[in-house]
Structure 1
Amino acid sequence: MLGFSVYLDKDLTADDHNYLLGMRNAGFKEVFTSLTGLKDEADIVLKRLDQLTSWCKDLELKVMADVSQDDLHYLGYDLADAEEIKKLNVTGLRINDQVLMRFVSKLSKTMWVSLNAIYLQPEDITHLKEEAANFDHIRALFDFYSQPETGMDEKWFEEKNQWLHNCNLETAAFISGDGVKRGPFFAGETTLESQRGVYPLAAALNLKDLACNNVIVGDRLTSETIKSFARYTKDHAITLHVDEKNTFLNENQWHNYLYLAQDIVRLRSEGELPKFEAQDLPLDRPVGTISINSNGLNSNEIHIAKRNLPVNKDGRVLGRVCDEECSLLPHIEPGQKVIFKNLEK
């Protein structure tokens, strides 16, 4: 499941509502918000939360609120009182500190509970089972790390993620957005350090490869990236923006071959393509270069370099995938649809 973040450190505006609507329409199902570290009075925070949950209810979006026990006390709630907490009108709570599993078990019978993945240990799983917790309503959510160099190691994440699956828990993690970043570091809210600054859809697909069940975007997405997510969620299509206008690429239907080539993405068109003459001065093909053969062989296909490749004397370069989206190339699956768009400048 795909989620995204809307924070409560300021009053919500019409722009926030439009963002909720756009993300819902792009296939996102859940909103993550945080009740931790807010400096406003409790009644102001609760008013903002009420506004958010009301909008999300209308849009059929789930709401997961990040809290600690101290935050709940500040807002006038007690983690031990599940019935009272239901009045927050959230779909679930993400409890970011260590808590007694009997509280978690009780909450799991009335709402979703996300537990901090880094704290969970074998004895916690044992206690949840002893307390007859509803494991269908519990998942493990990894933290995001705002400060550069503090993000999680990918191998450690993969091992912890697998252990959590073995405990019959779904997992979730954060990727950074490519729009407005949160302060104070403005470096992206990401779980994995290796994904800091990576194009969001590529980061989401990487988490999928690592068997993470749920992906949450920690920052805002740009409008073009929202459209790319929408094409992926609705048509399983990968969108690639090209560095120069090329109607030939945009107007044809492209699909990857039914196998994965090592060095290129090998895209075929349903119809015969026009013939191109070889370039007078053949060019190297760095990662992302789009080219076509001019010798009549494989005349209904184009190639995208997945790594730096040498000159092809029979080839003609048609353009290049924009730098940040080159990270998508390893994730293009056999038979998958690929859509080219011009890069807005």
Structure 2
Amino acid sequence: MLGFSLYLNEDITPATEQYINHLKKYGFNGIFTSVHIPEEDSQKYRARLLSLGNLAKKNNLDVMVDIDQASLEKLNISLSSLDSLKEQGITGLRIDDRLAPEQIADLSQKIEIGINGSTFTEEELKQLVAFDAKMESIQAWFNFYPCPDTGISRQFLAEQTKMFKHYGMNVQAFFAGDENLRGPLHEGLPTLEYQRYYDPLASILELKELGIDLLYLGDPGISERSLNQIKTYQDEDSLVLYTERAENASEEMYNYILGKHNQRPDPAEYVVRCEDSRMHSVPMITPENTILREKGSITLNNHLYQRYTGEIQLVKDTLPMNKRVNVVGRVTDGSLPLVNLIQPSQEFYLYEK
């Protein structure tokens, strides 16, 4: 499931509702918010939270609220009486405190509970089972990491996810946005450090491969370009990769490689071969910019390759220069992870950034 984040440092306005409706059109079905910010006015936060809950209920969206016990008290919310909160559209609580396993087990009978996927241990999971927790109502929610270099590793996320899955739990992780990034650092809010500057779609697909069930946008914004990437994948099972013209490459040759392609059904080890590229009306392609083919390079075979003239390739790993191969473009850093995710015979698009 795809979800997004809305933060309560500002009032819920008609623009907020427009944003919710817009993301819903792109398949986003859950909202994450946080209310444990002690310096803010508690009454404003309570009003904003309930307003957000009602909007979500109106649009049939889930709402997971990140909260601690001190903020619960400030907002006059009791863990012993959650029915009114659920009636207001709040479907889950990620309580960012070290609650006793017995208390978590009890809460799981009443509402969806998010535990901290970044810190929860197997010993604590065994205790939940011992206290008859409703494990299908408990989700493992990883942290996001605003400060560069502090996000967790792929290996750690995979190990934790495997552990949670063993206990029948759904697992959540955050991916960074690429517009209106959350302050004060404005450096993205990913769970995995190496995904900090990825295109959102690249993060989503990699997290899915790692077994993540709930994929949430951590930042309060995402570009229309990235939403269209996601929509194209949802509707067509096609990948959109954004590109730039290579330095010293002609505009004519760069424009030639833009557009729709298919990878061959027999994928190559080091490159993505565009299946139908040699079937186009091939212009005279003279040797040009025959330089080192770095990872992410987009290449075009020149006339020295004879029957292979006109073949377009995406380089998956750095290859040496070849006088028969022109480097005409490169996949942008954010889209680069998508190169290795292109499947045999899969359709993909190369668009200028």
User: Shared topology, TM-score over 0.5?
Assistant: yes
1:262 aligns with 2:269: yes
Letter in 2 for 1:327: P
After superposition, the Cα gap between the structure-2 partners of 1:78 and 1:259, relative to the gap in structure 1 and judged at 3 Å, is: farther
* Cα distance in 1, alignment partners of residues 111 and 117 from structure 2: 18
Letter in 2 for 1:292: L
* Cα distance in 2, alignment partners of residues 194 and 237 from structure 1: 24
After superposition, the Cα gap between the structure-2 partners of 1:217 and 1:98, relative to the gap in structure 1 and judged at 3 Å, is: same
Shift of 1:318: 4.4
Q: Any conservation in 2 of the 1:79–1:85 contact (CA below 8 Å)? A: no
Residue in 1 aligned with 2:337?
327
Say what the alpha-carbon RMSD is for the aligned residues. Answer: 2.5
* Cα distance in 2, alignment partners of residues 319 and 128 from structure 1: 53
Residue in 2 aligned with 1:280?
287
After superposition, the Cα gap between the structure-2 partners of 1:270 and 1:342, relative to the gap in structure 1 and judged at 3 Å, is: closer
Which stretch shows the higher mean deviation, 39-48 or 307-316? 307-316
Q: Any conservation in 1 of the 2:287–2:323 contact (CA below 8 Å)? A: no
Kindly report which structure 2 residues correspond to 1:20-169, keeping only aligned pairs within 5 A, or say none. 20-169=20-169
* Cα distance in 1, alignment partners of residues 76 and 127 from structure 2: 27
Residue in 2 aligned with 1:225?
226
Q: Any conservation in 2 of the 1:82–1:107 contact (CA below 8 Å)? A: no
Question: 1:20-66 CA distances to partner (integer Å, 9 max, x unpaired)?
Answer: 22222222221111111153322211221223223323333221111
Question: 1:202-223 CA distances to partner (integer Å, 9 max, x unpaired)?
Answer: 2222222322222211112111
Residue in 2 aligned with 1:202?
202
Q: Any conservation in 2 of the 1:282–1:311 contact (CA below 8 Å)? A: no
After superposition, the Cα gap between the structure-2 partners of 1:268 and 1:280, relative to the gap in structure 1 and judged at 3 Å, is: closer
Residue in 2 aligned with 1:338?
348
Which stretch shows the higher mean deviation, 169-178 or 239-248? 239-248
Match of 1:297, SS state, is: helix
Match of 1:323, SS state, is: coil
Match of 1:319, SS state, is: strand
* Cα distance in 1, alignment partners of residues 154 and 125 from structure 2: 23
Residue in 1 aligned with 2:298?
290
* Cα distance in 2, alignment partners of residues 6 and 97 from structure 1: 21
Shift of 1:225: 0.9
* Cα distance in 2, alignment partners of residues 320 and 230 from structure 1: 23
Residue in 1 aligned with 2:323?
313
* Cα distance in 1, alignment partners of residues 299 and 329 from structure 2: 7
After superposition, the Cα gap between the structure-2 partners of 1:242 and 1:41, relative to the gap in structure 1 and judged at 3 Å, is: same
Letter in 2 for 1:109: Q
Match of 1:140, SS state, is: strand
Residue in 1 aligned with 2:248?
none
Question: 1:112-166 CA distances to partner (integer Å, 9 max, x unpaired)?
Answer: 2111123423343233223332222211111111122222233222222211222
Aligned length: 342
Which stretch shows the higher mean deviation, 242-251 or 1-10? 242-251
Shift of 1:11: 1.2
Shift of 1:105: 2.9
Residue in 2 aligned with 1:175?
175
Shift of 1:75: 0.5
After superposition, the Cα gap between the structure-2 partners of 1:54 and 1:271, relative to the gap in structure 1 and judged at 3 Å, is: farther
Q: Any conservation in 2 of the 1:135–1:169 contact (CA below 8 Å)? A: yes
After superposition, the Cα gap between the structure-2 partners of 1:39 and 1:235, relative to the gap in structure 1 and judged at 3 Å, is: farther
* Cα distance in 2, alignment partners of residues 193 and 233 from structure 1: 25
Question: 1:283-341 CA distances to partner (integer Å, 9 max, x unpaired)?
Answer: 22333222233445357852111223233333344433223212221222222220222
Letter in 1 for 2:235: K
After superposition, the Cα gap between the structure-2 partners of 1:98 and 1:80, relative to the gap in structure 1 and judged at 3 Å, is: farther
Match of 2:126, SS state, is: helix
* Cα distance in 2, alignment partners of residues 104 and 300 from structure 1: 62
* Cα distance in 2, alignment partners of residues 81 and 248 from structure 1: 64
Structure 1 gaps, min length 5: none
* Cα distance in 2, alignment partners of residues 297 and 113 from structure 1: 61
Q: Any conservation in 1 of the 2:289–2:328 contact (CA below 8 Å)? A: no
TM-score by length of 2: 0.87
Q: Any conservation in 1 of the 2:262–2:274 contact (CA below 8 Å)? A: yes
Match of 1:3, SS state, is: strand
Structure 2 gaps, min length 5: 246-250
Match of 2:340, SS state, is: helix
Match of 1:136, SS state, is: helix
Match of 1:66, SS state, is: strand
After superposition, the Cα gap between the structure-2 partners of 1:279 and 1:286, relative to the gap in structure 1 and judged at 3 Å, is: farther
Letter in 2 for 1:146: P
